[in-house]
Chains A and B, each alone.
Chain A
Amino acid sequence: DAEITQSPRHKITETGRQVTLACHQTWNHNNMFWYRQDLGHGLRLIHYSYGVHDTNKGEVSDGYSVSRSNTEDLPLTLESAASSQTSVYFCASSYDRSNTEAFFGQGTRLTVV
């Protein structure tokens, strides 16, 4: 079955370290998204991609970067982790057409100490 997987599921890192969260989907979706979820804020869009070599900033992109070298993967990098980036991160993907939903990975809980 097609799926979307994130790794690691849990990560503890120190302030200032570079961290990369992985996202891999097997649906062959062109669209991929990274969200963070914090209490009271719902899901906020960090970065998104509409295809290979395409990346775009979302509403909370400062301190994060992504790259898209193939259809299946969209890794999220925190250049220099900050305590404000402690959150649950969700990767999602969708077809690039109307009337289609987003499918979510299991999430990564990141703690920056």
Chain B
Amino acid sequence: QKEVEQNSGPLSVPEGAIASLNCTYSDRVSQSFFWYRQYSGKSPELIMSIYSNGDKEDGRFTAQLNKASQYVSLLIRDSQPSDSATYLCAVNGNNFNKFYFGSGTKLNVKP
């Protein structure tokens, strides 16, 4: 079983819609959770981090964490074509010095 699972997509949404990206993880004692955005040919860049259960909002982005269900999600409101990228979910495990990444979900926002 992979440490971090994501639907590979592609997820297609129209401009202005809400994009919902999901991630599950296997290590129940994981402490820190991250969403990275990666444009084609570029390196991953951090867009959100979340450390406790509930929602965390930053502009158009909302991260949601449910440790009981081992589930992390990212909502992108008012999606823009510039949001088209691959979104990587990352988990910092029990040993907080190691990051596990999902395979990423490709998001296409259509104008």
Which A positions have Cβ atoms within 8 angstroms of B? Answer: 31, 33, 35, 40-43, 45, 48, 50, 90, 92, 94, 96-107
Contacts and interface: CB of A to CB of B under 8 A. Distances in A.
B88 A92 contact: no
Contact of A98 (B34, B45, B96): B96
B49 A99 contact: yes
B25 to A, nearest CB: 13
Given A41-B103, A92-B99, A94-B97, 6 more contacts: A42-B104, A48-B98, A90-B44, A94-B99, A99-B32, A102-B34
Contact of B103 (A42, A45, A101): A42
Contacts of B101: 35, 42-43
Nearest to A6: B43
Q: Interface centre among A41, A97, A104, A105, by most B CB within 10 Å?
A: A104
Interface in B82-111: 88, 90, 92, 96-104
A41 to B, nearest CB: 6
Contacts of B104: 42
Nearest to B95: A50
A101 B34 contact: yes
A93 to B, nearest CB: 11
B8 interface: yes
A55 to B, nearest CB: 13
B98 A45 contact: yes
Contacts of A106: 42-43
Contacts of A45: 98-100
Given A43-B44, A45-B98, A107-B43, A99 B51 contact: yes
Contacts of A43: 44, 88, 101
Contacts of A40: 8, 103
Contact of A105 (B34, B43, B46, B51): B43
17 contacts: A31-B97, A35-B101, A42-B6, A42-B102, A43-B44, A45-B98, A45-B99, A90-B43, A94-B99, A98-B32, A99-B31, A100-B32, A101-B32, A101-B34, A106-B42, A107-B42, A107-B43
